Amino acid sequence: MNDAVVAATPAPPMLRAEAVHKRYGRDEVLKGIDLQVGKGEVLCLIGPSGSGKSTFLRCINHLEKIDAGRIAVDGELLGYRQRGDRLHEMTERDVCRQRAAIGMVFQRFNLFAHMTALENIVEAPIRVKGEVKAEALGHARALLARVCLADKADAYPSRLSGGQQQRVAIARALAMRPKLMLFDEPTSALDPELVDEVLAVMRGLVDDGMTMVVVTHEMAFARDAGDRIAFMDAGVVVEQGPPQELLARPSHERTRAFLARLLGAPSRH
Amino acid sequence: MGPTRVVPLRRPWLWLSSAAVLALVVALAVSIWQNPHIDHAAIAQYQFAPAILKGLRLTIALALLAAVIGTVLGVVLAVMRLSQSPVLRLGSGLYTWLLRGTPLLVQILIWGNLALLFQHLGPFDTNAVLTPFVASVVALGLNEAAYMAEVVRAGILAVDRGQIDASLALGMSRSLAMRRIILPQAMRVIIPPAANQFVSLLKATSLVSVIAGGDLLTAAENISSANLKTIELMLVATFWYLAVTTVTGLGQYVLERRLARAGTGMLAP
């Protein structure tokens, strides 16, 4: 590839994963994942449990090290620096800098239990990014208002419902002004009546043009909010495409079987 | 018709056994109080004697200094034990194995007589540096660290793994996450066994009488070897040990209450 061609290439995608492999001992969890997410795009990852969706998500911000392949976020290789044809592992400081730009929301919220909602949100902006306290507090209050929890600023996580905790967790991730947000089954641990308040916040982010990768079992969300759905099974991306198309006319038997089971339709044709 | 009355279950055995215990306690107190072989005047005379109070101050100083050394070193050893480096893990394991596996009395004797092994520590004369007091602090502190390491390690392991995931995902370094997120939450699990350790340590200070450490027991023994009122002086010492451990217990109570209030209330009574 010569320089002229490089200059003509459009801006790099927000996320590019190429042939990502991950093993736990002998167990190969990811068997070559290739995925791209453009800026402002929302990709929903679906698939049976154990298919590697969550592992892949954790690889994106280097919570798990990959065994082969490469992941680049916003054109920057993740966790490694390329010199010539070799990849050198990054220092912890550089990995932290990269992670700071990627927000992550967990299935079990993982709010810091010894801090109030507000303290949870300002902790990383102040300690990691070195933001001025007053500024960070102002931003945090705005974010709390945005997730409709302005009155819960001083509440400890144990005093909040699951849905409220997850909304604080989203605000905490947003406080770092991430360019990419990862959601790892954000509503799976919630009581059914609390799912919608979290999904509403996520839809708001979609409307604001946030780039998101969402591992989810919420098909309604994947259908209306996602730009694209990728179906994973047994460590590979079986197929991907626009939501309407993939959900209505899955081209693989495995996808059909999964969707049939999930949507409660008879799985045999 | 009034509301239905609730009649509590009668527990005659509970009352009977309580009465028996109370009777035993009273009998013991009376037998000590009226024992003709105990010189009550001597107890009154020595309870606040300057030599005893000096020994008491030294015992408290020994315990506090050793606790500080033990806690700081214990945290370091616990973090080493949980590190990714096998060498650090092994080093921490060896330390704990050696210092927990040998009697404290032996360790105190070795530190007290180190001059027999090394006449000089660097440019200094060993006996000038390792006075009985310093040798006592070092021996108690290093021994305490081996136990505190396990206490702290258990505390760290009790903190949910999701907390470190969330910290790293926000761009925190491992050490920042440890200081700000993990250790503060581990405290609630650490405090009760640590207070227990401190009470043990307070009593273990009595062992330094073998190297003329000048503690409370040494002071009491010095007096009793002159006037042969052994039991009286042991009762004097007993009173002070109980007084200090009681204060420690109160401190633990206050600390636990405060942590429970600031935290999630998970461990609150």
Select from A98, A95, A19, A12 the least CA-distant residue to A56: A19
Tens of pLDDT along A156-173?
999 999 999 999 999 999
CA distance B153 to chain A (A): 19
Asked if B93 and B101 count as a contact pair (C-beta separation under 8 A), the reply is: no
- Residue B262's pLDDT is what? 59
Mean pLDDT of A238-245: 94
* Share above pLDDT 70 across residues of chain A, in percent, rounded to a whole number: 94
pLDDT at B264 over 80: no
A155 Cβ contact partners less than 8 Å away, ≥ 6 residues apart: A116, A117
- Which residue bears the tokens 């979609």? A206
Collapsing DSSP to helix, strand or coil, A116 comes out as coil
Select from B39, B192, B73 the least CA-distant residue to B144: B73
Give the DSSP per-residue string, chain B.
--PPP-PPPP-HHHHHHHHHHHHHHHHHHHHHHH-TTS-HHHHHHHHT-HHHHHHHHHHHHHHHHHHHHHHHHHHHHHHHHTSS-HHHHHHHHHHHHHHHSS-HHHHHHHHHTGGGT-SEETTEEHHHHS-HHHHHHHHHHHHHHHHHHHHHHHHHHHS-HHHHHHHHHTT--HHHHIIIIIHHHHHHHHHHHHHHHHHHHHHHGGGGGGGT---HHHHHHHHHHHH--HHHHHHHHHHHHHHHHHHHHHHHHHHHHHHHHHS-SSS--
pLDDT level of residue A86 (50, 70, 90 thresholds): confident
pLDDT at B267 over 50: no
Query: Given an 8 Å threshold on Cβ–Cβ distance, is A102 in contact with B169?
Result: yes
- Which residue bears the tokens 């065994």? A67
Mean pLDDT of B224-247: 91
Mean pLDDT of A112-135: 96
Nearest to B171 among A97, A111, A112 (CB): A97
What span, in angstroms and rounded, lies between the C-alpha atoms of B119 and A241? 79
Query: Given an 8 Å threshold on Cβ–Cβ distance, is B265 in contact with A172?
Result: no
What span, in angstroms and rounded, lies between the C-alpha atoms of B182 and B139? 29
Tens of pLDDT along B56-73?
999 999 999 999 999 999
Which residues of chain A are at the B interface, by a Cβ-Cβ cutoff of 8 Å? 61, 63, 92-93, 96-97, 99-104, 106, 108-114, 123-124, 127-129, 156-158, 169, 172-173, 176
pLDDT level of residue B261 (50, 70, 90 thresholds): low
| Whole-structure pTM value | 0.82
Mean pLDDT of B17-30: 93
What span, in angstroms and rounded, lies between the C-alpha atoms of A263 and A233? 17
- Residue B115's pLDDT is what? 84
Which residues in chain A have their CB less than 8 angstroms from residue B85's CB? none
**Whole-angstrom distance between the N-terminal and C-terminal Cα of chain A?**
48
* Share above pLDDT 90 across residues of chain A, in percent, rounded to a whole number: 82
Q: Exposure string (b/e) for B198-222, b if CB count within 10 Å is 16 or more?
A: bbebbebbbbbbebebbbbbbbbbb
pLDDT level of residue A2 (50, 70, 90 thresholds): very low
**Whole-angstrom distance between the N-terminal and C-terminal Cα of chain B?**
39
- Which residue bears the tokens 């990269």? A98
Tens of pLDDT along A14-73?
999 999 999 998 899 999 999 999 999 999 999 998 899 999 999 999 999 999 999 999
Tens of pLDDT along B242-257?
999 999 999 999 988 8
* Share above pLDDT 90 across residues of chain B, in percent, rounded to a whole number: 62
Alpha-carbon distance values, A168 to A36, A76, A116 (Å): 28, 29, 10
Tens of pLDDT along B105-157?
999 999 999 888 888 888 888 888 888 899 999 999 999 999 999 999 999 99
Select from A30, A50, A24 the least CA-distant residue to A236: A30
Mean pLDDT of B165-181: 95
- Residue B77's pLDDT is what? 96
pLDDT level of residue A10 (50, 70, 90 thresholds): low
- Which residue bears the tokens 């801006």? A11
Type of residue numbered B161: R
Query: Given an 8 Å threshold on Cβ–Cβ distance, is B166 in contact with A99?
Result: no
- Residue B266's pLDDT is what? 45
Which residues in chain A have their CB less than 8 angstroms from residue B184's CB? 114
Q: If 0-12 CB within 10 Å is exposed, 13-18 middle and 19+ buried, where does residue A189 land? A: middle
- Residue A265's pLDDT is what? 52
What span, in angstroms and rounded, lies between the C-alpha atoms of A221 and A215? 11
Mean pLDDT of chain A: 91
